[in-house]
Amino acid sequence: MHWDKIEGNWIKFKGNVKEQWQDLTDEQLEVIAGKREHLAEKIQVMYGVDKNEAENQLSDWQKMQ
């Protein structure tokens, strides 16, 4: 699935994101608003991973959607 579909249907996908990255708060997800770069940055900060790892996690998650 292309990221633009995820971003366009963010309300639908927020629950799936929350299941994958449980440490993200509802408020953070609202601010992220479907922006991939923002989500990657939050994953880096919240989970202490580098940019490549955050991108890999996002790519894997995106493939499952």
Number of structural domains in the chain: 1
**pLDDT of res. 29:** 97
Kindly state the average pLDDT of the residues 30-41.
Answer: 97
pLDDT band at 1 (very low <50, low <70, confident <90, very high): confident
Q: Cβ(40)–Cβ(55) under 8 Å?
A: yes
Instruction: Print the domain residue range for 18.
Output: 3-64
**Residues 44-55 pLDDT 10s:** 999 999 999 999
**HEC assignment per residue over the chain:** CCHHHHHHCHHHHHHHHHHHCCCCCHHHHHHHCCCHHHHHHHHHHHHCCCHHHHHHHHHHHHHHC
Tell me the mean pLDDT in the region 3-16.
Answer: 95
Share of the chain above pLDDT 90, in %: 98
Question: The domain that contains 25 carries what CATH number?
Answer: 1.10.1470.10
- Please, is 29 exposed, middle or buried when counting C-beta atoms within 10 Å of its C-beta (0-12, 13-18, 19+)? buried
